[in-house]
Each structure stands twice: as structure tokens, then as C-alpha cells.
Amino acid sequence: MIDMDTHLNLSVENIANPLLQTWTTPYALPPFGEFSAADFQPAFTVALQAHDDELVAIALNPIAATFDNTIVAFDKSGRLLNRIEALFENLTASETSAALQAVERDMSAPLAAHGNAVYMNASLFKRIDDLYQQRSGLGLNTEQARLLERIHLDFLRAGAQLSVAAQARYGKIMEQLAELTTRFTQNLLAVEAAYELRLGPGDLAGLPDAVIASARQAAQERGAEEGYVITLSRSLIVPFLTFSDRRDLREQAFKAWTQRGSRSPEVETNTNTSANNSSSGETDNLLVAVEIMKLRLEQAQLHGFDNYSDYALADMMAGTRQAVDDLLMRLWTPAKLKAAAECVALKTIAGDDHIEDIAAWDWRYYAEKVRAARYDLRDAEIKPYFPLHRMVEAIFDCAQRLFNIRFTEQPDIKSYHPDVKTYEVHDTDNKLIGIFLHDNFARATKRGGAWMSVYRSQSRIDGEVIPIVVNNNNFAKGEPTLLSFDDARTLFHEFGHGLHGLLSNVHYERLAGTRVLRDFVELPSQLFEHWLSEPEVLKRFARHYQTHQPIPDELIAKLKQARTFNQGFENVEFVASALLDMALHSRRNMDGLDLNEFETEQLTRLGMPKEIVMRHRFAHFQHLFSSSSYASGYYVYLWAAVLDADGFEAFTEAGDPFDPVIAKRLLKYIYASGNTRPPMEAYRAFRGKEPTVTAMLRKKGLLED
């Protein structure tokens, strides 16, 4: 909300701008439908100036620095900018347009420049630093001390103590990085939105009805009156690679999927056109990624580090490259051994089709056949028991049983797309504690993957502020939408992130929800996945979409028996990506960097099985290059896997997956505490001990003999 007493340039145009008004919508949600892309740039101009004015008032306050007039004031500042920026970033990820992308390109550098100016404000930093130096004598409580510590570190890591000349260069680096990461994201979205593998009725051999229905739906959404389309959405292309009997089409689809971003696959006009034809034009992300790496190295060097990885890990739980490498290699060796054994089994079945060598586009296809033969378990048998609406009921029920909260859909609330559902979240006293938006389907205007984000963070610094949290998935729409077990796990995973935002119970916004160290943020999400596999959850919610009968005990038993099936493949895929992330960001020189050559060299050094491709190749590795969030940090999923496997054993030891005593500790120390205490301290408070890697290896079936 604009304070009309501040000296802003509020033209008639700005006053009429919906983004700058007090949002009188329910829950102060953004006024979807009342603004256009053209409103963002003038709104940003006003909001940036408003934030500048707030910071000047803090920095030049004639009264000596206190916790309230400096740290609290800083945490409260920029609320108008935060509101507009959160809306903008969510829309450009979930429901973008050419107009929004143009604004995104135009605003990336100015927004980065503003961030630089905030954290390089010498007068402001002096007040913060003065308080930090005398922090032990300020009488601060635990959360206040943590806030001061984190804000001070934010300034240091953003260059507050660099020389004037270094700060100027640092600012340019951050602006260039903002432009490049925006380009990387937009390039990838363009390639993914354009690609189609069109199928006719004769190209559907092996595909289950649910996959055919989703491919037909995708074709209709792209304006095709007949036929079927396979897109690069994971929820559509993975089932295609798993079931299609057409090896030639599997190869086309696989190459387009794994090469996306490094080239521009042409839109398929028929099944005889190679999906691999392309040119390295404006959408070649390998060139963009190299420029990002050069700038990151320079950024780290300005901070006194000789590589970016050391800079990134200085504010992670792992702390050092050695700690990360030790963990990754602990998994890499047994995963390769298991994958080799899995490949032998695949070749045995592939021999029946006169195929001697398994290609990367064959693995999922023959793995499904091995699973069917070994466990009498087929994905087509599983999916009918996992309709999306039932799995949504399951996540809500698990949250209610664990944390005593309930979700109530509000169908009359308008959102940014008809697919989005809005829910009120209440506690046991019927108090509204949050708003949850659920956006589950893939579309051309939405980036790939699955993620959680916020439109507003929880805090109590300026009255009770309830969070607005959104979960994004990219499931292929069907009638009904049937999920694979992996899709259902993704739903639970992202909802775990959502709960982390919704259940936040802190005073200061900087410490709220998911604003924790990167290798702790995946704990709440991965931990929540465990409840999907609990028999009592499956019996209640995994019901056949036609007969409504619960999933049979025999099928649950098969799922349990097969839980470590193909874990060699899956972990090789993941760990290879994490190891190459670490190797790339550990380089001390980026001159002459060719990412394809680097990938080949590193995978050869590691002994990567030729039948497996790393899960994320550099040209589409959004974790690394759409922002810096997971740069030198893709390992965090494995770090969190150690914590989540060890943590869930607390419920296993209690003999009840919903044990109320343990759930209460889980809420207090993991889901609600945000960044109010160091993460390992929070974990020990929940678990009562340090985590061990044993539970994780056991869960993955990779315990060494």
C-alpha cells in the first residue's frame, strides 16, 4: 500500500495503476484480471523509489542505531516492492506472455541494480555493523539475534565491505547475471513450448489409455483437430518413453528432451521428421551458461574465493566442497554397481527384441518390462488408483492429522488461470493461518518442473500477516488426470514445501518459511513424501478412478517390494548432475569453457554408464542457471535425503506415522521455525540426535555389504 505522505511521483496514471492500490480483494490477493503487463513497469518505478526513500530514512536517522530503528525497520521496508515483485515473478513462471517476458527482460537489470544499491549502502551497513559488533550486549532474544546475524551476513555476501571500485564492478556483474538468467529461462520456455512430437493412430502401440488421452488433450490444447502430441512436459514424455513400442519415436523424443536448450528442435509436422534437427541460435543456452559461469567466478573472486563453489558453500550446512563430495561419492559407487546389475536384466529382456545394447531411450521401456516380470507390477496397473483429486485429498488429510490444519476450497475466488484452485487454511481454533493456491497442470505459458513459491510471506512485524503460498506442478491433463507413483510423490514433495511456507510461525519476514539455508530447505518437502507410502494413507485415498475400490493389499505389497527397483539408474542420473554441478562451479578458470566437452570429460572420469544420461544437462539445468539458488547446490536434495530418512525413522520407531508427540516436535522445530535457529540445531531439537547416512542408504537399497 502506498503511503500518500511520502514524496513520490504519483502521477494520475500511477494512482490509477491497480498494482499500486490497496488490494481490497479477499485475503488481499492480487487483483487478477484488473491489471495488464503494461502496469508493471510504472509500478516497479514507484515501488523502487518508495523503497529507496525508506532506506534513506533508516540510514540517515539522526538517532543512534537500535535494533528497532535499524534492523526491524529494514525488515519492514520494501513491502510494496516485495508485493509487486512476488506477483510478477509468479506470473512469469506460471502464466507468462510475450508482454510479460518483455517487461522481465527490461526490468531484470534495474531490479538487480536496486538490490546492489540496498546492500552496498555504506551508511545503512554501518548502522547494521555497529549493532552486530555489540550484539551480545543488546539483550536480544533468540529470534532477534538470528535476524541481526542473517541481515548482517546478507550484506557481507552482497559486497558491503568491498572497496568502492570493487562494488561498482560487483554491481555490473549482478546486473549482467540477472539479464542472463532471465534469458536462460525464457530460452528454455520457448523451446519447450514450441516442441511437438505429433502422432497418428498408428503410432500409439504400447501406450496405455491414460497416456493416449493426455496426448490427445495436449494436441487439442495446441489447436490440432485430430491426432496426438507428445510435449516436453515430464509427465507426458516420461510415460511415452516408458511405454511406446516405437523405438524410433522414443529416440526422437528422448533426444529432443535431453538436448533441449542447447538447440531449437523444430516443431514436428509428422512422425518421419527428425525431432533432432536444430540450429544453435538465440535459444542456445550453452552459450548463456558459459557467460553466467564467467561472471560467477568473478563474483566469487571479488569476495576473496578462488572458485564459486567455495563462496556458495560458505553459507550452507555442508560448508565445504569436501563434505559435499564425500556425500556424493558415498552414493555414486553403489549406485553405479546397482545400475550395472539393472542393465544386465534389461538386456536379457531386450534380447527378445533382437536388441543387444541398451540405448538411453530404451532404459525406461525395458525397466518397466523387468518390473512387470519381477514384481508383477505395471505402471498401467498403478495409475488408475492415483487420480489427482484423490491424491490432493490425501495431502490435505495428512497435513490435518499431523498438524491439525484443514483446507477449504474457495471456488469463487478468481486466480490467474482457470486451472488454479484456491483454499483457505485454518487451525484447530478455526483461525485463518494461510491461503493456498494449487496449480497442477502443464501448459505452454508455464515453465517446466515443479516448485513452490509465495505471493506473501508470513510475519508478525507489522500486525498478523498470513502467507499466500502456491504449489506448481506440470501434470499432463486428462479426464481424469491419473498420476504415476512418481507424480504422486512430486505432489507430496511440493506440498511439503507449501506446508513449510503455510505453517511458518515467526515474527520477522526475513526468517519466515522457506528462507532457510539451501541444504535445509528440501527437508520439509522430502520428509513429507514418506506419508504417500504409508499403507493406511494408500488404503484410504488410493482408490480406482472407475470402481472407487481401494488399492488392493497385494498391490501395496508389490509397491513396497519394488520400492528400491531401478534405484541404481535413478541415483546415477541424479548424482551425475550433482557431481558435475560441483565440478563446474569449482573451476578456477572459465577461459575456453565448452560445456559439452566439459560434460564428456567429467562423465568419462566418473565412469558414467553409457546407457544413462545425467538428469539435467547444462543447457536445461534450471536449478543452476535460472537463478543462483541451487548453483553449486544441486547436492542439497541428497543432503536433505539423509535428514528426511533419518527423521522419518522417529515415526517408525514410535510405531505410528502420525504419532502426535513427534508430529508436535516436527511442527515446532522443522515446519514452523523458519530460519530462527541454525538448521542443524533445529534438526537436533526435533530428532534428539545427529542424523546418520545409514537410513538414507537403506531407503535407496544402496547399503554396502
Query: What would the pLDDT profile of 617-656 be if each residue is shown by its tens digit?
Result: 999 999 999 999 999 999 999 999 999 999 999 999 999 9
pLDDT bin (cut points 50, 70, 90) of residue 274 is very low
Its pTM stands at 0.93
At residue 282, the pLDDT reads 65
Q: Looking at the domain that runs over 285-377+567-587+601-634, which CATH code has it been given?
A: 1.10.1370.10
Does residue 321 register a pLDDT over 50? yes
Give the mean pLDDT of the chain. 94
Two domains, one topology: 12-161 and 384-561: yes
83 CB-side CA count, 13 A: 23
Mean pLDDT of 345-349: 96
Q: Which residue has the higher pLDDT, 379 or 637?
A: 637
* Catalytic center residues: 494
Q: Please state which CATH number belongs to domain 12-161.
A: 1.10.1370.40
- Which of 27-36, 266-275, 286-295, 345-354 has the lowest average pLDDT? 266-275
- pLDDT at 607 > cutoff 80: yes
Q: What is the pLDDT of residues 538-589, one digit of tens each?
A: 999 999 999 999 999 999 999 999 999 999 999 999 999 999 999 999 999 9
Name the amino acid, one letter, at 372: A
pLDDT attached to residue 3: 37
Report the C-alpha gap between 621 and 447 in whole angstroms. 13
pLDDT at 696 over 90: yes
Instruction: Select the more confidently predicted residue: 495 or 13.
Output: 495
Confidence at 264, pLDDT banded by 50, 70, 90: very low
Residue 265: is its pLDDT beyond 60?
no
Instruction: Name residue 197's beta-bridge partners.
Output: 230
Is 464's pLDDT higher than 90?
Answer: yes
Q: Is the dihedral of CA 6, 10, 15, 18 positive or negative?
A: negative
Angle at CA 326, nearest 5°, toward 322 and 331? 150
So what's the pLDDT on residue 281?
53
pLDDT at 479: 86
Say if residue 266's pLDDT is above 60. Answer: no
Q: pLDDT-derived band of residue 123, with 50, 70 and 90 as boundaries? A: very high
Taking each helix axis as running N to C, give the angle between helix 518-529 and helix 485-502, from 0 to 180 degrees, rounded to the nearest 10.
120
DSSP state of 447: -
Count of CA atoms in the C-beta half-sphere (13 A) of 51: 24
Cβ atoms within 10 A of the Cβ of 438, count?
24
Q: What is the CA radius of gyration of the chain?
A: 25
Alpha helices in 357-437 (DSSP H): 363-375, 379-382, 388-403
Task: Report pLDDT for 704.
Answer: 62
pLDDT above 50: residue 270 = no
Q: What is the pLDDT of residues 189-232, one digit of tens each?
A: 999 999 999 999 999 999 999 999 999 999 999 999 899 999 99
Mean pLDDT score, 341-355: 96
Nearest CA to 675 among 516, 463, 464, 538? Answer: 516
Max CA distance (Å), the chain? 83
- Grid cell in block for residue 44: 516497479
Least confident of 1-10, 32-41, 107-116, 667-676: 1-10
Question: What is the structure's pLDDT at 462?
Answer: 85
Domain boundaries, the chain: 12-161, 285-377+567-587+601-634, 384-561
The CATH architecture one would assign to domain 384-561 is Orthogonal Bundle (1.10)
